[in-house]
Structure 1
Amino acid sequence: MKNQVRIRYKVPLGGMTFLIMMVFTSYVQAQVREISISEALELSYTNNEKVKQYGERVQQKVNEDKAAKGNFLPSLNIVGGYTYLSDNIQVNTSQIQSSLDDLGGKYGAAFVAAYGEHIGLSGVTTESAYSTLVGVLGQFPEYPNMEVNNQQFAVASLSATQPLFTGGKIIAAKKYAKAELRSADIELIQVKNEIANELIERYLNMVLLKQVVKIRQEVYDGMLKHEEQAARAIQLEILPKHVLLRAKVAVADAKKDLENDLNNVELSAMALRTTMNLPDSIPFTVMDSIGFQELYLDFDELLNTAYAKQPVLGLIGQKEEMAKQALAVEKSNFMPNVAAFGSYNMFRQELPIIPPKFMVGLTAQFNLFNGFKDINGLKASKHLQKEVAFAKEYALKQIHLLIQSNYITANNQQKLYNSLTSTVNMAEENLRINTRRFEEGIGKSIDVIDATLLYKKSKIEKLVALDGYYKAVANLYTAIGEPEKIIPILNKSASL
């Protein structure tokens, strides 16, 4: 039997760790989710706390609007309680003595009329009996106070009140609540517009930085290759030794720029993650690049859209309505308040003084003087209307300026991008020629380095111009109240 030989390979601990990290990195990269700008915007709308906050405010105003409707309906209340008196209730007979004498005279006259012949008073008339008895009773001393023997009792009543006329106060309050609800809706739209603008800007930042990193990597790889070529040429004594030092400096600069922009990519991802409110446990990336798409922007059309859809103007419009209704409320203070009321008393028989079962009626209230409070309130409401009018005029001017500035910026960035296209092409050709000349031994190393830096600079400037163009368009659409209008444009540009 042949001996079996087992060969064991010893892998260093550092090498094993490196292999494990490579496998783990490959697994994580496979799990990275590429998020389109449409998906990123939807995540922001769904997860952002500020959007949730203003969504709750809308629901609050919905319920307040419903509550304002209740002012048109009757109010129904049940009142109950328990009362304990330290002493019995007393009736002050001195104040009703004449009434008691009159009552005694009437009862006595009735008795004489019914039983006079039985007691020997058959000839006495009712009138003479009444006057005689009242006269006699008037000579008696004052009656002692009468007590109601009930020191504790329960009370309960059911009452209803229906406003009939309030001078327009209830109607104004309802319209005011409706304006507040509309304002809350517009504020939610405004917040979502701000979130959309922030999301688009941060998303474009990350796309730009990813493209810049690619250029930095190309430059770094090119500088490494040039360093190798320069070292080989020095070995062949074609170039002096100091040329290699310049090439090494160029490699170090390219590496520094690459690492710096890699850090910027990480920072931009953190900012974008915050806007989307995406957990740190979910890795993500964005689209690799965005191509140029020329857009036709009509200034007058954009301005008219802003006047119709800009949330700021919508909010001012609702402020105008609220100021109008506030004035109506102040005017209603100079009108009477009329209401119908009714009540039903329970536990009547247990009360010291028995009230009727039902009471219905009308009540009217008109204020005669309250320290000039109503007059000053009316004046304040008129000044509020003027304040809102001035705010609207100012907002219109600011929106016009905002749209005009972003419109000019977008057009300038578009022109800059188009002009840089030819610059990048010439810089690329210049790099190709100088690289070829160096490889053939008739060019200088410094020319290759300068051509590489010039090409990198022009290409990055072109990317920055494209980024500025789309950001200006995004700001322009946000200014007119339609920030999402740029989303399909960017999605289409990603495939160019």
Structure 2
Amino acid sequence: MKNWRTTGTKAPFAKITLLVMMVLTSYVNAQKREISITEALELSYSSNEKIKQYDERVQQRVYENKAAKGNFLPALNLLGGYTYLSENIEVNTSQISSSLDALGAKYGAAFIETYGEAIGLSGVTAESAFTTLNTVLGQFPSYPNMVVDNQQFPTAALTATQPLYTGGKIIAAKRYAKAELRSADIELIQVKDEIANELVERYLNLVLLKQVIKTRKEVYKGMLKHKEQTERAIQLEILPKHILLRAQVAVADAQKDLDNDLNKEQLAMMVLRTTMNLPDSIQFKVMDSITYRELYLDFEALLNTAYTKQPILGLIGQKEEMAKQALALEKSKFMPTIAAFGTYNMFRDELPVVPPQFIVGVQAQINLFNGFKDIHLLQAKKHLQKEVENAKEYATQQIHLLVQSNYINAQNQQKLYNSLSATVELAKENLRINTRRFEEGLGKSIDVIDASLLYEKAKIEQLVALNSYYQAIANLYTAVGEPEKIILFINT
């Protein structure tokens, strides 16, 4: 499987230099600089806002992946506060009177056992003394509550927790975060592929319009010349006056078609500028034409490349990993969680009840029952895995269909272009013959007009077929995950 990790999309120095040169060219020389399709793609990669958006998403996943590593490390927290009590704390002695009586009797019996002879109680045993004292103390009135004279005190403690065993939860979370990072990488590649395909399509459309406009101007120029020849022939009374009307209509139609395509060219320029994210102040032009090159395609090789490099399959592969780790997370809920902890208490002497300075230990926790929620979630994640498996199978079938349809389309467009080449040559020769016959007074004006329109139609159809041929190849390379390959093919 292809390594989907990518670097950032920051513009290198060469791209920045290109932009500076374009700005200087537009303001100093007031001339349009030609941008090759390669330069246009580099500008799109460095300036397109959608690519920047997904690059930021990658950076977000990078830090989330780093954050997931922190679950393996101990957590250290400093807790601090200030407490004020409306009244002093009191110990309710009525609830512990029996314990106090027993404690007093115990100490009294120990005293008699030790110093009984000195005070004239040498014959009294410790057991009898304890029983007598405990009975006597039990007859006394209740003890008054003991008051802790401290209504306000600060608290501070430093605590540390280190997970020892979580049933695989931390490892699954880390792998899940890594899969999300790889998914973001692949999404960025997918967006760049889409932008590359969009750039090629819009660039080629602009080149096509330039060629169509060139053909329109050629036909328009021919129509004007024919109209002038018709006017001279009418002045010489060789042709009737109504023949001029046909020539004038043909010139008007040619002018209309030319103006329409010029407007389309401006719109296509705006669309291409948007893909490259160039400001209106930077003037540019594209290459004048693209020559035909025959391409030999190996369908099986293309299909194998698609299975390896198609971003969709890469995304589904990461979805599989995420579903696997989500299942592992649910399984971890049925395992115990074991963690070591430690606490260092500060301001101990300020507290009503003095805690020890250090507390360390190990704790284990396991859920016994939560309404079958974990069991149901575990089953849900199992079905999620099966869903992703089915999605992968479906996507593989669709990619096979996509590659095959674009492969067939590229072959059909190639055949169409080759067949139109002969048609254009015949139409051009037909126009030359009819123009010559008219100039020699042997042909009709309508024949020249029809021949011009026939040549224009055939030539434009050939240009459209050439554009469709390259567009089909671009779509094919995009389908297999190598959209930039069409640029190498065009530039060669």
After the TM superposition, which of the residue ranges 28-37 and 150-159 deviates more from structure 2?
28-37
SS of residue in 1 equivalent to 2:484 = helix
Structure-to-structure mapping, 1:271-420, within 5 angstroms: 271-420=271-420
Structure-to-structure mapping, 1:29-108, within 5 angstroms: 30-108=30-108
Offset of residue 486 of structure 1 = 0.7
Offset of residue 28 of structure 1 = 8.9
Offset of residue 114 of structure 1 = 5.9
Offset of residue 31 of structure 1 = 2.2
1:449, 1:28 → 2: CA distance? 45
SS of residue in 2 equivalent to 1:435 = helix
1:160, 1:440 → 2: CA distance? 105
Partner of 2:244: 244
Seen in structure 2, the aligned counterparts of structure 1 residues 112 and 262 have a Cα distance that, compared at 3 Å, is same
2:29, 2:396 → 1: CA distance? 50
Partner of 2:439: 439
SS of residue in 2 equivalent to 1:160 = strand
2:28, 2:59 → 1: CA distance? 41
Offset of residue 138 of structure 1 = 3.0
- Tell me the amino acid that sits aligned with residue 267 of structure 2: L
Query: Does 1:227 pair with 2:205?
Result: no
Structure-to-structure mapping, 1:103-252, within 5 angstroms: 103-112=103-112, 119-121=119-121, 129-252=129-252
2:374, 2:120 → 1: CA distance? 75
SS of residue in 2 equivalent to 1:483 = coil
SS of residue in 2 equivalent to 1:142 = coil
2:246, 2:141 → 1: CA distance? 134
1:353, 1:116 → 2: CA distance? 36
SS of residue in 2 equivalent to 1:343 = strand
Partner of 2:448: 448
SS of residue in 2 equivalent to 1:244 = helix
SS of residue in 2 equivalent to 1:80 = strand
Offset of residue 421 of structure 1 = 1.2
After the TM superposition, which of the residue ranges 176-185 and 121-130 deviates more from structure 2?
121-130
After the TM superposition, which of the residue ranges 415-424 and 85-94 deviates more from structure 2?
85-94
2:320, 2:27 → 1: CA distance? 59
Offset of residue 330 of structure 1 = 0.9
Q: Deviations over 1:101-158 (max 9, x none)?
A: 3332343345446655664556656555545433432332222221111111111111
Seen in structure 2, the aligned counterparts of structure 1 residues 258 and 28 have a Cα distance that, compared at 3 Å, is farther
1:250, 1:118 → 2: CA distance? 145
Partner of 1:476: 476
2:226, 2:334 → 1: CA distance? 91
Partner of 2:3: none
The percentage of aligned residue pairs carrying the same residue is 77
Offset of residue 357 of structure 1 = 1.0
2:389, 2:118 → 1: CA distance? 95
Seen in structure 2, the aligned counterparts of structure 1 residues 130 and 53 have a Cα distance that, compared at 3 Å, is same
Aligned length: 467
- Tell me the amino acid that sits aligned with residue 69 of structure 2: K
Offset of residue 318 of structure 1 = 0.8
Seen in structure 2, the aligned counterparts of structure 1 residues 399 and 139 have a Cα distance that, compared at 3 Å, is same
1:175, 1:254 → 2: CA distance? 65
1:129, 1:311 → 2: CA distance? 90
Offset of residue 39 of structure 1 = 1.2
Partner of 1:12: none
- Tell me the amino acid that sits aligned with residue 153 of structure 2: F
Offset of residue 266 of structure 1 = 0.5
SS of residue in 2 equivalent to 1:31 = coil
Partner of 1:10: none
Q: Deviations over 1:383-432 (max 9, x none)?
A: 11111111111111111111111101100111111111111111111111
SS of residue in 2 equivalent to 1:76 = strand
TM-score, with length taken from structure 2? 0.91
After the TM superposition, which of the residue ranges 62-71 and 116-125 deviates more from structure 2?
116-125
* Greater gyration radius: 1
After the TM superposition, which of the residue ranges 466-475 and 134-143 deviates more from structure 2?
134-143
Offset of residue 370 of structure 1 = 0.9
SS of residue in 2 equivalent to 1:415 = helix
After the TM superposition, which of the residue ranges 89-98 and 319-328 deviates more from structure 2?
89-98
Partner of 1:458: 458
Aligned Cα RMSD in Å? 1.9
Seen in structure 2, the aligned counterparts of structure 1 residues 81 and 184 have a Cα distance that, compared at 3 Å, is same
Q: Deviations over 1:235-279 (max 9, x none)?
A: 222222222111111111111111111111001001111111111
2:287, 2:115 → 1: CA distance? 117
1:248, 1:131 → 2: CA distance? 137
Gaps of 5+ in 2: 1-25
Gaps of 5+ in 1: 1-25
Offset of residue 226 of structure 1 = 0.9
Partner of 2:5: none
2:114, 2:407 → 1: CA distance? 110
- Tell me the amino acid that sits aligned with residue 273 of structure 1: R
Partner of 2:17: none
- Tell me the amino acid that sits aligned with residue 477 of structure 1: Y
SS of residue in 1 equivalent to 2:66 = helix
- Tell me the amino acid that sits aligned with residue 351 of structure 2: L
Offset of residue 94 of structure 1 = 2.8
TM-score, with length taken from structure 1? 0.90
Q: Deviations over 1:72-101 (max 9, x none)?
A: 111111111111222221212233333323
Partner of 1:18: none
- Tell me the amino acid that sits aligned with residue 329 of structure 1: L
